């Protein structure tokens, strides 16, 4: 019958199956046909088992393929346990998310991890089970259903590079099963590891030096990029590809709408390289994505690729993969540059760094963010620094000192994370509000400094909300949560100071912010809600349009332009505590003699010499209607 599930599957496979097989051929050569048949069987079963309400969601998404690019999309990132205790508890706080305009909820690792140290949940022991303290898979299905009723999509982490040493695959490998031993990179002696180590960086040099671990039961060295208890899987084995595809389909049918592909840059190994960003990574991701579009087209992929601009765009798709790899990627460079400009009161480096980005595929989107669960690594190249007369090493050291509160004039209160003496690399931990100076200002009892800190928090959000993409608000930032001074007291956290910016959600603080809009937290909450409301009503922010840097006449100002079919949008952001005057013609030449400023709700006469931009202020201009 026309329109039957069988017909739907056949048409989708006819559309996407050839792309799946083409990418599989690039990786697996002559085995591609056989692997493609296995893939077809997996997605056919998943399609058959897909619940009816998710089939309806599939149809909605097929009719609105740009759903992730819509300016009404606003993300929120939280640890389920620290936000609400359990998955069921999340459902009790949906009014708070609604009040922020959230349409996209990323719950940090919630699949069953190994007992004991587990890298914040990224050492997964079972991809088909939920952490026992959070609930069950049935609880996850119930939560996704409640979220869909509110128009909120759930994102879940899927770790692609490694599994916990306690995962069933690893246990079977230790038991001598040759099939599962082939799921991992193993070596009988140090000959192989030593050859690989010659070009491999260390991710956690402080507490996990090296990239290989000897396992007594296995009787071999196993590849462990991140920690000794996280075993890298071998994607050159097509069994691994099929296992992960089946896992993705299982999560999709539980109602997960976005999968964050964790550690994706590391999944393909090539001797003599850093074993990151290899071409096979993009073929494998494309094959996974196109296969999932057959079984569950409502599902989107987000690449967790914290890499340089030249390496980042391929995760969205370039060349033969254009727009076919992932639907979203993190704009890590934007985040780093915001903190750099805030410390230096100088946007010239930001102009150079953002100006290097080639246009992304118009069907994809950025995930923009001010902070995340991780540390801040100063991904600033020597070449970009030199272009504005800076020494890269010196500037990165300055930023580490500034945000650790060690530099003269610093307003920040952060902690150094993972100091690497060999390279001088020092990353930074700390909550948004603490890094923006609110803690030091409150301790000093200085109302002016408090006002500056609040303004910094809102400035950074004004940029990510106006840049284009899905802005990701991090749990607690909406009420200016400070560092958790007791972070090391919790079991298992003392060795990882990133827990300083992962406190439990303080619902009393949320209530206080609601009750007292004049308090610092109340100002941040009200300011964020206002920014989100303006964003949602501004079609110029559709993510198919790129933000482009406009050279600024003042190093304290960042000027961004978006050329939408409805007309240009010009944004001006002041990264200093000074009032800065902007020549009016820079706006008037683009928008005409008058313009509407969206954040303030005013019409501006541009027939004047200069426009004032308040300290840490933002202006969003469109042509006056």
Question: Which member of 262, 351, 452, 496 is catalytic?
Answer: 262
**Nearest Cα to Cα of residue 534 among 430, 622, 412, 404:** 622
Q: What is 9-112+128-155+253-258+266-330's CATH superfamily? A: Glycosidases (3.20.20.80)
The whole-number pLDDT of residue 159 equals 97
Closest by CA position to 291, among listed 222, 220, 242, 350: 242
**How large is the average pLDDT for residues 504-525?**
97
Residue 146's CB is within 10 A of a number of other CB atoms, namely: 18
List pLDDT tens digits, range 548-605.
999 999 999 999 999 999 999 999 999 999 999 999 999 999 999 999 999 999 999 9
The rounded distance, in Å, linking the Cα atoms of 92 and 176 is 47
**Which candidate, 227, 221, 228, places its Cα nearest to that of 184?**
221
Q: How far is CA 7 from CA 16, 294, 406, in A?
A: 14, 12, 65
Instruction: Please state the rounded mean pLDDT for residues 48-57.
Output: 97
Angstrom distance (rounded) from CA 21 to CA 538 = 40
From residue 510, give the alpha-carbon distance in Å to each of 449, 500, 518.
Answer: 22, 19, 13
Rounded distance between C-alpha atoms, residue 620 and residue 461, angstroms: 13
Cβ contact 344:397 at 8 Å:
no
Q: Can you give the pTM of this predicted structure?
A: 0.95
**Cα Rg for the chain, rounded, in angstroms?**
24
User: Nearest to residue 92, comparing CAs of 139, 53, 40?
Assistant: 139
pLDDT at 300 over 70: yes
Separation between Cα atoms, residue 578 and residue 618, nearest integer Å:
13
Span 16-30, mean pLDDT?
A: 97
Q: What is the mean pLDDT of residues 248-255?
A: 98
602 Cβ contact partners less than 8 Å away, ≥ 6 residues apart:
596
Residue found by looking up tokens 């040493």 in the block? 165
Burial 454-487 (b: 16+ CB within 10 A, else e): bbbbbbbbbbbbbbbbbbbbbbbbbbbbbbbeeb
pLDDT band for position 31 (cuts 50, 70, 90)? very high
Instruction: Give the residue-averaged pLDDT of 254-281.
Output: 96
pLDDT at residue 609 is higher than 80: yes
Both tokens of residue 101? 């305009």
pLDDT, tens only, 347-388: 999 999 999 999 999 999 999 999 999 899 999 999 999 999
508 is catalytic: no
Q: Grade residue 1 by pLDDT with cuts at 50, 70 and 90.
A: very low
The string of pLDDT tens digits covering residues 444-498 is: 999 999 999 999 999 999 999 999 999 999 999 999 999 999 999 998 889 899 9
Segment 137-143 shows an average pLDDT of 98
State residue 394's pLDDT score: 96
Q: What is the pLDDT of residues 179-207, one digit of tens each?
A: 999 999 999 999 999 999 999 988 887 66
Task: Parse the chain into domains and list their residue ranges.
Answer: 9-112+128-155+253-258+266-330, 540-623
Active-site residue identified among 58, 157, 246, 304: 304
pLDDT of 510 higher than 70: yes
Percent of the chain with pLDDT over 70: 99
Residues 533-557: what's their mean pLDDT? 97
Indicate if 446 belongs to the active site.
Answer: no
CATH classification (class only), 540-623 = mainly beta
Q: Give the three-class secondary structure for 485.
A: coil
**CA 537 remoteness from chain centre:** 24
pLDDT value at 290 more than 60: yes
Beta-sheet strands, E only, within 218-263:
220-223, 230-232, 258-262
Contact 246, 41 (CB under 8 A): no
Confidence of residue 2 (pLDDT cuts 50, 70, 90): very low
What is the predicted pLDDT for the residue at 6?
Answer: 86
The answer, yes or no, to whether residue 135 has pLDDT greater than 50, is yes
- How far apart CA 449 and CA 76 sit, in angstroms, is 28
Could you give the residue ranges of the DSSP H alpha helices within 447-548? Answer: 447-466, 507-515, 520-536
State yes or no: pLDDT of 148 exceeds 60.
Answer: yes
pLDDT digits (tens, 9 = 90+) for 401-445: 999 999 999 999 999 998 877 777 899 999 999 999 999 999 999
Task: Give me the chain's average pLDDT, please.
Answer: 95
d(CA 280, CA 285): 8
Nearest to 368 by CA among 318, 345, 334, 341: 334
Looking up tokens 């100088």 gives 346
Q: How far apart are CA 462 and CA 466, in angstroms?
A: 6
Residue 3 has pLDDT above 80, yes or no: no
């Amino acid at each position: 019958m026309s329109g039957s599930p069988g017909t739907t599957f056949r048409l989708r496979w006819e559309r996407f199956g050839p792309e799946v097989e083409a990418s599989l051929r690039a990786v697996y050569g002559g085995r591609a046909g056989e692997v493609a048949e296995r893939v077809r069987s997996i997605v056919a079963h998943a399609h058959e088992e897909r619940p009816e309400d998710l089939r309806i969601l599939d149809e909605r998404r097929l009719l609105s393929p740009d759903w992730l690019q819509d300016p009404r999309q606003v993300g929120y990132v939280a640890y389920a346990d620290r936000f609400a205790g359990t998955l069921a508890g999340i459902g009790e706080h949906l009014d708070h998310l609604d009040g922020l305009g959230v349409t996209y909820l990323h719950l940090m690792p919630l699949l069953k991890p190994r007992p004991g140290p587990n890298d914040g949940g990224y050492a997964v022991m079972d991809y088909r089970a939920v952490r026992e303290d959070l609930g069950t898979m049935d609880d996850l299905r119930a939560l996704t259903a409640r979220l869909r009723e509110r128009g909120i999509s759930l994102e879940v982490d899927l770790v692609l590079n490694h599994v916990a040493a306690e995962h069933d695959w690893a246990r079977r490998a230790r038991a001598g099963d040759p099939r599962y031993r082939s799921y991992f990179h193993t070596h009988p002696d140090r000959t192989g590891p030593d050859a690989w180590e010659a070009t491999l960086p260390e991710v956690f040099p402080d507490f996990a030096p090296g990239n290989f671990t000897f396992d007594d039961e296995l009787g071999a060295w196993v590849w462990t990029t991140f920690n000794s208890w996280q075993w890298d899987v071998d994607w050159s084995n097509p069994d691994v590809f099929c296992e992960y595809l089946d896992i993705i389909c299982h999560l999709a049918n539980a109602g997960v709408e976005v999968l964050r592909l964790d550690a994706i840059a590391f999944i393909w190994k090539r001797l003599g390289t850093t074993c990151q960003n290899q071409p096979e990574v993009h073929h494998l991701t494309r094959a996974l994505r196109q296969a999932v579009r057959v079984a569950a087209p409502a599902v989107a992929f987000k690449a967790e690729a914290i890499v340089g601009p030249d390496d980042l765009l391929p995760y969205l798709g370039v060349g033969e993969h254009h727009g076919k790899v992932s639907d979203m990627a993190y704009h890590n460079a934007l985040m780093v540059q915001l903190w750099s400009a805030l410390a230096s009161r100088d946007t010239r480096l930001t102009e150079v760094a953002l100006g290097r980005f080639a246009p992304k595929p118009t069907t994809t989107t950025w995930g923009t963010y001010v902070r995340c669960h991780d540390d801040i690594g100063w991904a600033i190249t020597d070449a970009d620094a030199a272009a504005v007369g800076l020494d890269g090493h010196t500037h990165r050291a300055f930023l580490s000192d500034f945000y650790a509160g060690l530099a003269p004039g610093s307003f920040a209160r952060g902690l150094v994370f993972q100091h690497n003496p060999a390279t001088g690399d020092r990353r930074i931990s700390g909550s948004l509000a603490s890094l923006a100076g609110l803690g030091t200002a409150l301790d000093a009892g200085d109302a002016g400094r408090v006002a500056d800190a609040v303004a910094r928090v809102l400035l950074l959000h004004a940029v990510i909300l106006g840049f284009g993409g899905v802005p990701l608000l991090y749990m607690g930032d909406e009420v200016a949560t400070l560092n958790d001074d007791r972070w090391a007291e919790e079991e298992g956290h003392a060795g990882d100071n990133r827990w300083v910016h992962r406190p439990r959600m303080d619902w009393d603080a949320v209530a206080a912010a609601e009750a007292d809009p004049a308090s610092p937290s109340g100002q941040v909450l009200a300011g964020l809600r206002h920014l989100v409301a303006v964003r949602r009503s501004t079609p110029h922010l559709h993510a198919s349009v790129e933000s482009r840097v406009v050279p600024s006449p003042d190093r304290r100002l960042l000027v961004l332009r978006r050329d939408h079919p409805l007309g240009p949008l010009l944004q001006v952001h002041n990264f200093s505590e000074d009032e800065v005057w902007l020549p009016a013609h820079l706006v008037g030449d683009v928008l005409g003699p008058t313009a509407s400023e969206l954040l303030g709700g005013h019409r501006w006469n541009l027939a004047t010499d200069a426009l004032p931009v308040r300290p840490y202020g933002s202006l969003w201009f469109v042509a006056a209607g």
